[in-house]
Structure 1
Amino acid sequence: MTTQTDAPIAHGGALSDAIAQYGGTAPEWLDLSTGISPFSLPLPEFSADVWRRLPEQAEVKRVCELAMRHYGGAVMPIAVPGTQSAIQLLPFLTPNASEVAIVSPTYGEYQRSYQRMDIAIDPIEALDGATVTRASVAVLANPNNPDGRETSRDDIFGFARAQRHRLVIVDEAFADMRQDLTMAGAAGTEPNLIVMRSFGKFFGLAGLRLGFVFAEPGLAKVLSDRLGPWAVSGPALAIAAHAFSRIDLVGELRKKMEKAHAMTRSALRMAGVSMVGETELFFYCEVGDGAAIRDLLASHKVLVRDFDHSPSRIRIGLAPDELSAVRLRETMRLALAGQRPS
């Protein structure tokens, strides 16, 4: 039995909605509402066959082998049309589960996916060897979205090995710049551990809809069977093969992100913003009234993300260049000044 859910969860990137409410055109806006890299991997021209033909299993296998090498996996992952598609299917991995523990607050789609299947949610504060839960599944985003909290590999290993009867799912959507955190090399060899990796966030290609899931063969087959044939498009496979084969371009992307991260941090600090969490792709900020600051920034055509679960905080993505960083600094100063008593 499934449960009808409420309205869709709000996510970042809803620029058309912001334009409808506050006006302007897309080029006039500075969209900092997502944790997606503002820089996209340069792409070559691809053969027309990439668009014309259905992808073959040999192509899928090759890309998954390249992904295994790129992410440091110990088993070959399965390719999925965005990790959101895998999140939708997580309940089918443990069809008899009655409760799932989710390190919270976090990305809301984990909870929504399990609630659709009438599975109870246990919102836990952390995942480590001391965690106590009756749930047969534990879900963790590492680093966490939206606050950037990090869970060490030792803590995840401690929990997974002490709780071998529980399935542990780690979403590493924001771990591309943190090889010290990734559990991709343990997923599959630890049979109760699953790791999900997002392709689009780091490579600035979120519209491609591509991700990878590392899991032991039985669980991987459940996901593959649910996804069906040709789950990932030929163009997505070709772009991933290109990206994973170009270490030089990956290095350039890292340098650009590091520079943008430093510029954004400096802009927020100079504007007097309290940064209480971060990853390499976003900052989590204490601003007093998140919704009010979001609206004030939007009135200047700067888009950020606020949260119902943490109403005093907002998430801000990376400013791509110095002009954008200055604009963020000045509009944030105006917004914060508008919240202070006169």
Structure 2
Amino acid sequence: MQSLNVSANSETPDAFTAWFGTLPIVRDHIQSGHIAVALSGGPDSMALLHLLARVCPSQTIIHAITVDHGLRANSADEAKQVGTWVSSLHNVHHHIVRWEGDKPDSAIMESARAARYRLLEQFCVERGIENLWVAHNRTDQAETFLFRLAKGSGLDGLAAIHEQTSSPSGSVQILRPLLDVAKDDLTAWCVDQNIPFATDPSNQNTAFARIRLRQSMDVLAAEGLSEKRLATTARRMGRARAALDHFTDQAWAQVVTVQNDGITMDLHALATWPDDIRLRVIRRACDHVTMDREGFGPRLDRLEEIVDQIFTDHDFRAATLGGVLLRRAPGGGDRLLIAREGGKTS
């Protein structure tokens, strides 16, 4: 997919809508029936909703879902305002879902994100909706790359946001068609089209690491680390990840036996594969037994430490990793047993 400048000065609105309709992810997943769109009310999600409303078949029902996180005193009124803005769109039904209960004192953005996806997935599953459209864009991609780089992520983390993923339970496909479009261009298009949108005040709160990284973008761009270049690097990381996943699939088929109570792994066969494939197979096994479909899993440095012990320390017997017990089979053989911590392994 090529980057496209959609500002009013260079691309007409009709051309942008036409371009959007030709995207493979849009062509492959636009359908009659019901689809869902995450609608915060910001310029990116408002642009996505209007684009989908223009290219979807007339019989498609679009469910625009606004999550009220309850983190601001007027959040309920803000969510209702978003509904008013989209009330005239053909076949768009607006819904508000709320994050109920006590809110955490720390890691607020991370907790809000997890709650948001949980609520969006629940909405879709209850209505049999298979596709959830999300307005992550090139600016989000660049920020995510920087955020994960600062956290010391490996290749998987630096691949950043993927165009298509599964929800935590695997029941819903999450689709992101705007990853090659800058947020500023989406904002300009909304202004040109007289599409109202909200500005989130938390986007100026430097208490959040993502906001501080966002504010550093101008300095980085002056040194050549532009938003576009960062997003391109993330895309290339994603391509490399796909290649490694291909070989991880082959190694998995060769060395792994899945049982009801966990996984048995042939260490002798796994030792013939490169280090990164070993890491990926063992991490996938951990994700499998914990049912972590998003693959967040344990920290990479801890995983590397344990995998190194497994293959270099002849006295290695057992270790725990993110709620998973990894232990060598009794008798010092070449089998590694992996199960939930506190569970049973054969």
TM (normalized to structure 2)? 0.30
TM (normalized to structure 1)? 0.30
Instruction: State the structure with more CA Rg.
Output: 2
More helix by share: 2
Which fold has the larger relative contact order, with Cα–Cα distance below 8 Å and residues 6 or more apart in sequence?
Answer: 1
